[in-house]
Amino acid sequence: MAVQDTTLPVVTKIRSAGGFLFTFGVLAALLYVGRLFLVTLLLSIFIAFILEPVVNLFMRARLPRGFASFLVCSLALVVLYLFALLGYSQAALIWEELPAYTERVNQITEKVFVQVESAEKAVNNLITPRRAREQQERLAQQRQQAELQQQQNPRRRRTTDPPMSPLLPPPVQEVRIQEERSPIVEYIYENWRQFYEVGLMASFVPFLVYFMLSWRDHFVHNFLRVFSGESRGIAAAALEGIARMARAYVVGNFILGLLLAGVSMAFFWFMKVPYWVIVGPLSGFLSLVPYIGLPLALIPPFLAGLTVYDNLADYLVIGTTVAFFHLLALNLFYPKLVGSRVHLNPLAVTVGLMFFGFMWGGVGLVLAIPLTASVKAVCDHMPGLAAYGRLMGD
């Protein structure tokens, strides 16, 4: 009777696991090394998803897709330019009042230090025995008296001291007057290469968006021709699932961000928060950042109100209202606009945020959920990976 060799299945599993780990390592290295290129490409894709419904609206007026895409991209650039101009005017006003903000921050910092010192003294008085305190006070008085006597009777030069050499004028040194740069200019000067690379990649975004919109049907048709037979249907279903999910996530977040920005602007105007025109949209869209959205949404109004509010009650009102807007949007509107299309469980969301946040920083936190949901959509439509899709699902 032949003995069955049980080592082959084990070796096969080890090889498959090793191949998976190797592939994952190579993919992670590519994501980290090419992060600037990939982030630019993904942002262009998501912007195209936002503008696709507008292109379809223009195409219903019997406009060709190419001309409709050009018209929509041009309108988007005009809107972006107007918002940039408005932001620049507000930033110029903030720059003019920067000394007032600096002085206010110094006052708050000094006040905090005084309170900490008083608290430290109170704790020290409770802990230190009475005799030790009296001894410390006696030593402090003796030290003050010695310093006072030293000021009233300056020491005379001893006769044993060596004779002083005649004073010679110090050598004349050439003084070069160098204009001091501001911290922002200094930071840009030291990191000019990074700004150049980011600006270079950002210049490709309008062209990428236009080509993605105008050549969409061509790309989809030729992409599906790569596959054959049953694989073509699976690829079409996976592509449609990714597009539907990404469009729902991006457009839903964009609409929700506009809603939060409008409500926040109205509330900050009512509360007389300085620069409410720019503080409102910042607070509204920062509120949508996963997990850390609420503290990020509180930073712009708190910083803007430093020169206006002295009472803690005003900050409590602003913080409570912003928190109410944040919780209302995420618990009432977010599930209807976004959550019903993503279908990710909290563990998959957290792991995705950790992974892409580590790879790409703050931009990775913004792109983590749609990318993780895209991976799940691919797994759902591939028979060999359906189990992983169920593992990531809700």
Mean pLDDT, residues 254-260 taken together: 87
pLDDT bracket for residue 248 (50, 70, 90): confident
Q: What pLDDT, on a 0 to 100 scale, did the predictor assign at position 182?
A: 55
Q: What is the pLDDT of residues 269-289, one digit of tens each?
A: 998 888 888 888 888 888 888
* Mean pLDDT of the 288-301 span: 83
Report the helix count and the strand count for the chain, using DSSP H and E. 18, 0
Q: What is the pTM of this model?
A: 0.63
pLDDT of residue 348: 82
Per-residue pLDDT tens digits for 300-309: 888 888 777 7
Q: Contact, 364 vs 356, CB < 8 A?
A: yes
Specify the residue for token string 């690379």: 197
Of 384 and 297, the structure prediction assigns the larger pLDDT to 297
**Whether 370 contacts 46, CB under 8 Å:** yes
> What's the angle, vertex CA 348, arms to CA 346 and CA 350, rounded to 5?
65
Residue for token pair 């797994």: 379
DSSP 227: S
Length of the chain: 394
* Predicted pLDDT at 157: 47
Distance, in Å, from the CA atom of 346 to the CA atom of 369, rounded to the nearest integer, reads 11
For residues 260 and 280, what is the distance between their CA atoms, to the nearest angstrom? Answer: 8
Please report the pLDDT score of residue 50 as a whole number: 80
8 Å CB contact between 216 and 72? no
